[in-house]
Amino acid sequence: MRDRGNFDDATTRFYTACVVEAFDYLHARGIIYRDLKPENLLLDNRGYVKLVDFGFAKKLLVGRKTWTFCGTPEYVAPEIILNKGHDISADYWSLGVLMFELLTGTPPFTGPDPMKTYNIILKGIDAIEFPRNITRTATVLIKKLCRDNPAERLGYQKGGIRDIQKHKWFDGFNWEGLIGRTLTPPIIPHIRSVLDSSNFDDYPPDSEPLPQDDLSGWDADF
C-alpha cells in the first residue's frame, strides 16, 4: 500500500472481507481483537490475509465490557478514549477506519500527536472530508461502521456481522469463494520457499551490544 499510495475498490473489498471473516471467527468465540491496522495484516503465500499480533485481544463474556485503554491511536474507538467501556463494537469501528485507509492511503483520524488524534476522533466521522475517489456506497458503509454510538454500528445490531456482508458495497462479492479460497487475490507475493523473507523490509542489525551473562551467583538462594 505504501508503494501504491492506496488501493482500488476491488482490492480494498477483498482485504476488508478477509478481516470480516476473521472477526466473525473471533467474535463467535467471545474474543475482541482491538488492534486492527494494515501492519497487522500479512499476506500468505497465496495472497490471502492473515490477522496477526493478538497482544491486545481479550476474551469477553456476552453482555460484558472491558475498560483497558489500548490500541493504535488512529484506530481507537471513541468509547475507549472516553473510558466508557467497550466490547466487540470497537472492532467494527476499526474496520471502518481500515476501509478508509486502504482506499485513501491515510486513516481518517490523524493528528501530529496522539492527544490531537483522539480529539479528532471525538469530533466524529461526519467531520471528516471524504476524497472523491471513495464511492458513495463505500462512504455509506464506513460511516455506518464508525457511528459514535457503539450500539448503532453495522455488525453490532440484530443481524450481526451478516449485515456487513450483505451491505451494498459487497454486492456480487463471492463470500463462499473467499472461505473456500477459490478467489484470485489482488496481490500474490512472489516467494521462493516457506523461509523466504525477501518481501519484508531490511533493517540494520541492532547496534547495542548483547548484555553479558551475570555469573556472580547473587541468585543462588533466590
Contact criterion met (CB below 8 Å) for 71 and 47:
no
* Cell 475517489, located at residue: 133
- The string of DSSP codes covering 176-190 is HHHHTT-S--S----
Q: Which residue numbers are catalytic?
A: 35
Three-state secondary structure call for residue 51: strand
Three-state secondary structure call for residue 168: helix
Identity (one letter) of the amino acid at 139?
A: T
Distance CA 81, CA 111 (A): 15
- The string of DSSP codes covering 96-129 is HHHHHHHHHSS-SS--SSHHHHHHHHHH-GGGSP
Distance CA 91, CA 81 (A): 14
